[in-house]
């Protein structure tokens, strides 16, 4: 029996929401919070999965039955990765997976991708499989799309696998390229505040898929393969359907915002200049893409009123977290103002932390 422990991080996206499946750009960082996967080889043709976050549940499925398994809920994420390896011809003779996650669940910080990538890396290493990182990313994404049923792009898995400490990850989904971009907020006296609004989002409830379908319809109406090909926001004004016009406008302008932020970081501009870009991105997600919530809007407006340099919802939306660019020393007071505002509104108490650009997936023992 061979065993080990692997870890993959959650992520927070500085800028670039709903751009990945449109062939566009994004700029995430990995979080210090990770999902750990303690894995061991087996030879009995079965997959056994447990999670410290789901005590008392033990999933035991034959590898040969994974394609027909009726297992629901959290276990479909790791099982989907095992199934995708098997489906691609990378034989898995049996494995035990013990998961323990510190990435907040349902917070829009990619806890699911962290599970998938920790398991994918563990399987590759345990069984010495000839699978390079780009295919690991694709395996993890396909597991989420096809086995779980969440039609996401590959941003989350790419961030979990490719991010490095001290850097943001510039992703070009149209070309399949990526680049590490130095991201030193501390050196400028700044911090990146993340506030989990405790309104769990769900990618499989149909709304995320509907946004993707609307983007595809907008691209077709504009005569392009993906909205990434539309560089001029004025081009979307030719769309007759006002709903498709709003959806396309968000994607096209969001791509421009990613390029602007990446350029600012590349050229050594004061990171404070990206704050207003974050705020404009939130308005776009709220008004054009319609994926925000009252809690997210309240967190953003309260943080800005309390002195944040910029703020926006982060992730796919319909709940989850917001991110704010803050002066060091102002972070905690801003978070406390959001907590107070949530109490006044009768919302659930939010949770907060400071995001630090951290390493991607790796073996830890």
Contact status, residue 210 vs residue 244, Cβ threshold 8 Å: no
State the Cα–Cα distance between residues 7 and 361, nearest whole angstrom: 6
Considering Cα of 12, then 14, then 18, then 19, what sign does the dihedral take? Answer: negative
Nearest Cα to Cα of residue 106 among 14, 250, 204: 204
What is the rounded CA–CA span in Å between residue 278 and residue 7?
29
Could you give all domains of the chain from N- to C-terminal order, each with its CATH number? 3-179 (3.30.230.10), 184-355 (3.30.70.890)
The residues pairing with 25 across neighbouring beta strands, listed in sequence order, are 172
Q: CA–CA separation, 250 vs 18, rounded Å?
A: 9
Q: 98-147: per-residue pLDDT in tens?
A: 999 999 988 999 999 999 999 999 999 999 999 999 999 999 999 999 99
pLDDT at 292: 96
* C-alpha to C-alpha distance for 71 and 323, rounded to whole angstroms: 34
pLDDT band, residue 190 (cuts 50/70/90):
very high
Where do runs of H (alpha helix) occur along 169-274? Answer: 207-222, 242-266
Considering only CA atoms, which of 253, 11, 4, 29 is closest in space to residue 115?
11
Of residues 255, 260, 247, the one with CA closest to residue 230: 255
Q: How confident is the model at residue 200 (pLDDT cuts 50, 70, 90)?
A: confident
- pLDDT per residue over 336-347, tens digit each? 999 999 999 999
Whether the pLDDT of residue 206 is over 70: the answer is yes
Bridge partners, 26 (sequence order): 171
What residues contact 147, with CB distance under 8 A and at least 6 apart?
76, 79, 80, 83, 84
pLDDT digits (tens, 9 = 90+) for 272-293: 999 999 999 999 999 999 999 9
Q: Write the pLDDT tens digit of every residue in 220-242.
A: 999 999 999 999 999 999 999 99
pLDDT band of 202, cuts 50, 70, 90:
low
Q: Is the pLDDT of residue 357 over 90?
A: yes
Residue 82 banded pLDDT, cuts 50, 70, 90: very high
What percentage of the chain carries pLDDT values higher than 90? Answer: 95
User: Percentage of residues in the chain with pLDDT exceeding 70?
Assistant: 99
Closest CA to 335 of 189, 190, 188, 194: 194
pLDDT of res. 1: 82
- Give the residue numbers annotated as catalytic, written as ranges: 156
Residue 205 has pLDDT above 70, yes or no: no
- CA 112 to chain CA mean position, Å: 9
Q: Is 116 left (phi over 0), alpha (psi -120 to 50) or beta?
A: alpha
């Amino acid at each position: 029996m061979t065993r080990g422990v692997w870890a993959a991080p959650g992520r927070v996206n500085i800028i670039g929401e709903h751009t990945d499946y449109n062939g566009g750009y994004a700029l995430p960082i990995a979080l210090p919070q990770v999902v750990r996967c303690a894995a061991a080889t087996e030879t009995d043709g079965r997959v056994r999965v447990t999670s410290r976050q789901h005590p008392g549940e033990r999933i035991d499925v034959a590898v040969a039955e994974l394609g027909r398994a009726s297992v629901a809920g959290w276990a479909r994420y790791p099982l989907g990765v095992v199934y995708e390896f098997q489906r691609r011809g990378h034989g898995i003779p049996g494995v035990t997976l013990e998961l323990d996650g510190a990435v907040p669940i349902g917070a829009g910080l990619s806890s699911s991708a962290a599970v998938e990538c920790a398991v994918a890396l563990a399987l590759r290493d345990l069984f010495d499989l000839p699978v390079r990182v780009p295919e690991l990313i694709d395996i993890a994404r396909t597991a989420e799309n096809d086995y779980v049923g969440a039609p996401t792009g590959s941003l989350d898995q790419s961030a979990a696998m490719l991010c490095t400490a001290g850097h943001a990850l510039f992703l070009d989904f149209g070309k399949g390229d990526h680049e590490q971009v130095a991201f030193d907020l501390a050196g400028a006296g700044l911090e990146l505040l993340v506030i989990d609004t405790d309104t769990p989002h769900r990618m499989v409830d149909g709304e995320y898929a509907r946004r993707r379908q609307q983007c595809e319809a907008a691209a077709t109406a504009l005569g392009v393969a993906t909205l990434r090909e539309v560089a001029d926001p004025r081009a979307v004004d030719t769309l007759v359907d006002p709903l498709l016009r709003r959806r396309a406008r968000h994607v096209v302008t969001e791509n421009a915002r990613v390029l602007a932020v990446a350029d600012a970081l590349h050229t050594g501009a004061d990171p404070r200049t990206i704050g207003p870009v974050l705020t404009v991105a939130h308005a776009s997600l709220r008004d054009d893409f319609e994926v925000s919530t009252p809690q997210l809007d309240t967190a953003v407006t309260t943080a800005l009123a309390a002195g944040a340099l910029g703020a926006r919802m982060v992730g796919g939306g319909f709940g989850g977290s917001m991110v704010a660019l803050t002066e060091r020393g102002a972070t905690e007071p801003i978070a406390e103002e959001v907590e107070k505002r949530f109490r006044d509104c009768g919302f659930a108490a939010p949770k907060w932390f400071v995001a630090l650009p951290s390493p991607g997936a790796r073996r830890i023992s």
